[in-house]
Amino acid sequence: PSSAASDVYKRQDEQMENMTTHLEVLHLMEKLSLEDRLLLRGKYIEGKSAQELAEMLGCKPDSIRMKMLRARRRAFHILQER
């Protein structure tokens, strides 16, 4: 990924890791699709790698990276609505 894209991923990762309350997470998860919940939970709660998530969902690690980007965008959109 380009430097700008890497910066975006890094900022988004930091922001997701900084979500502090359990209620925010529950509220967010309720509003996301099942796939988004699986991806975000796998990455941020269970600490799974892109490879592990790809195996779990039956797709390529590159697909996981794009799916994660989209899931994070949807999650941030939901958080901004509050």
Residues 10-59 pLDDT 10s: 887 777 766 556 667 788 889 999 999 999 999 988 999 999 999 999 99
Q: How many CA atoms does the CB half-sphere of 57 hold within 13 Å?
A: 25
Query: Quick one: tokens of 82?
Result: 């509050």
DSSP letter for 16, please: H
pLDDT of residue 79: 83
Helices 61-81 and 3-17: crossing angle in degrees, nearest 10, is 60
Radius of gyration of the chain (CA): 12
DSSP for 36-59, please give it. HHHHHIIIIIS---HHHHHHHHTS
